[in-house]
Structure 1
Amino acid sequence: MQAYWKRSQRKLAPWLFLAPGLAMFALYVIIPIFQSMAISFYDWDGLGEKIWIGTANYVELIDDDAFYTSLKNNVIWLVLYLLAVPAGLMIAIFLNQTVWGIRAYKSLFFFPFVISQVVVGLMFSWFYAPNFGLFYKLIETVTGDGVAILADERFVTYGIIVAGLWPQIAYVMILYLTGLNNVAPDQVEAARLDGAKGWRMLWYVILPQLRPATFIAVVVTVIGALRSFDLVSIMTNGGPYGSSRVLSFYMYEQALSEYGYRMGYGAAIAVVLFAIMMVFISGFIWKMWRDETER
């Protein structure tokens, strides 16, 4: 045994270090994914006996208007939430400069990242509040008539997305600031000698070196857009009239709230949400792998 360990030590040592993390990942991520898939084929209230119903939960989703509302809102979240990536990049480039007061600027832009999502939701709820909210007062001053964003089916989803973008941009900014610290200065100097500056410098020199940071920023932003449960729950609880629901909130509403206790139906919604996430994330991973192999 000792002789085998000496021969294989360099091969086995990395796996021994990874083993605890892999075990936790399997226990808390992989196994629950397959359990959710299995539960989605049952009618179950979470306590009593499971009743096998096959694909009935998925068939019910096809005729569920609330599901389509949630899916549409998730698409809106996904499209608008990706604005956090270019916005975070621009702020990171600005904060990477050597200017007077840059530490104060960094603190101000970093501040939203350390605030709890619950606090962010409450702050923006007061910001949008009718009669006394700052946004309501500004609109009332400009147009003569205020708008109750969180009580209007036309605007509620966009109002929540703006609240979510505030900390998400700060998170992306931090990722890009870390990436900018790893940009090769010799390549930047060589590009300057060749006359590159401004957008050409950014596009041909800086951005190619920020691909790993961009990949992580896009993935976490997509995941954040598709789960987006906490702000919806805090700011509107899915209202008004269910118009601000997203898939993660609708899953909770069906499976765990007093309106549902339908674990099988909630699991079916979770499987659909997981499939959408995997499509986007797999696409990003494949593109990054293809770009690396073409170098």
Structure 2
Amino acid sequence: MTVSSDIPEAESWFHRNQQRIAPWLFLAPGILFFAVYVIAPVFQSFNLSLYEWDGLGEKTYVGMRNYEDLYWEYVDRDAFFTSLKNNVMWLFLYLLAIPAGLFIALFLNQTVRGIRLYKSLFFFPFVISQVVVGLVFTWFYDPSFGLLNTMLGWVGMGPINVLGNEHLVTYGIVAAGLWPQTAYCMILYLTGLNAVDPEQIEAGRLDGAKGWSMLWNIILPQLRPATFIAFVVTIIGALRSFDLISIMTQGGPFGSSRVLAYYMFEVALSEYGFRMGYGAAIAVVLFLIMLCFIAYFLWSMYREEKGH
């Protein structure tokens, strides 16, 4: 009798809490994978940055020495300073993808003839590999047969070796990265524009809002979620930039196009040293920079939502 009375009680508890339990059951696999493949490696990187290790032999605990080496490299304006400076340039220039993606999305949201063709052309950069993007722009910048210098020749200007000039190379690589990133932001804003309330648009028109006034006061406030995602994704993309640099310049010329992610690869996994602990320290610095920016945007969005 005791067993039979317990079964209905257990079943009734499950049915009472089914709506609360079901979302966690669906989320459990994703949370597990995120914990194993993202959270755990972050803590492992923190731990590894406190050691000196070549990846094969015994680890030697050195405390904060790897971070001290990074600091003195920064003071001496060596490779770490160059990488950090380039990452800051990447960060601010990469943010141009957000307004560019917004205005392209506003254009593609119109009902004009041939809009499907335009959408396909603007969507194309998003679906191709970063390796392909790097190769295409490497050919585009080539000083002997590249399209850029061919067009400059039409107006009487001499050839420019963008990827061979230490003052221009970072701008050239960022321009290559902006091509697919703008397409990604465009897709986010197109999705957001589909959710814009037409009643608010109509009310704004009745109040005389149009053009910039309509965009700033009615459309953009409704695109806040899309803007937040675009900012976060763009910041992460700028700070973890690696593949374009590896394909287009391999950090050259003279290390002038290095960023933190590529410098981490050089010191930890290439023939330059196999300094795993030092590379992990670079990864921690990169993670903290990324965390600060994302936390700032999360806090800003939270304050705006709380204000409303």
Name the TM tier (shorter chain): over 0.9
Identify the match of residue 42 of structure 1 among 51, 54, 64.
51
1:259 Cα deviation from its structure 2 partner: 1.2
1:62 Cα deviation from its structure 2 partner: 1.1
Q: Partner residue of 1:87?
A: 100
Q: Partner residue of 2:172?
A: 159
Identify the match of residue 150 of structure 1 among 156, 163, 169.
163
2:17 corresponds to 1:17: no
Amino acid at match of 1:236: T
Identify the match of residue 64 of structure 2 among 55, 79, 82.
55
CA distance in 2, matches of 1:62, 1:19: 41
2:210 corresponds to 1:201: no
Identify the match of residue 290 of structure 2 among 268, 277, 288.
277
User: Taking structure 1 as the reference length, what is the TM-score of the superposition?
Assistant: 0.98
Q: Partner residue of 1:69?
A: 82
1:91 Cα deviation from its structure 2 partner: 0.4
> 1:63 aligns to what SS in structure 2?
helix
Amino acid at match of 1:56: R
1:140 Cα deviation from its structure 2 partner: 3.8
1:139 Cα deviation from its structure 2 partner: 2.6
> 1:69 aligns to what SS in structure 2?
helix
1:99 Cα deviation from its structure 2 partner: 0.6
Gaps of 5+ in 1: none
Asked whether the equivalents of residues 140 and 147 of structure 1 are also in contact (C-alpha less than 8 Å), the reply is no
User: Taking structure 2 as the reference length, what is the TM-score of the superposition?
Assistant: 0.94
CA distance in 2, matches of 1:198, 1:154: 39
> 1:125 aligns to what SS in structure 2?
helix
> 2:111 aligns to what SS in structure 1?
coil
CA distance in 2, matches of 1:33, 1:138: 47
CA distance in 2, matches of 1:71, 1:137: 34
1:126-153 alpha-carbon deviations (Å, 9 max, x no partner): 0001111111222344354211000000
> 2:155 aligns to what SS in structure 1?
helix
Q: Partner residue of 1:121?
A: 134
CA distance in 2, matches of 1:155, 1:286: 35
Q: What root-mean-square deviation, in Å, do the aligned CA atoms of Structure 1 and Structure 2 show? A: 1.0
How many residue pairs align between the two structures? 295
CA distance in 2, matches of 1:144, 1:222: 35
CA distance in 2, matches of 1:88, 1:8: 43
Asked whether the equivalents of residues 113 and 170 of structure 1 are also in contact (C-alpha less than 8 Å), the reply is yes
User: Identity, % of aligned pairs?
Assistant: 68
CA distance in 1, matches of 2:96, 2:157: 31
CA distance in 1, matches of 2:203, 2:301: 26
Provide runs of 4+ in structure 1 moved above 4 Å.
none
CA distance in 2, matches of 1:68, 1:12: 50
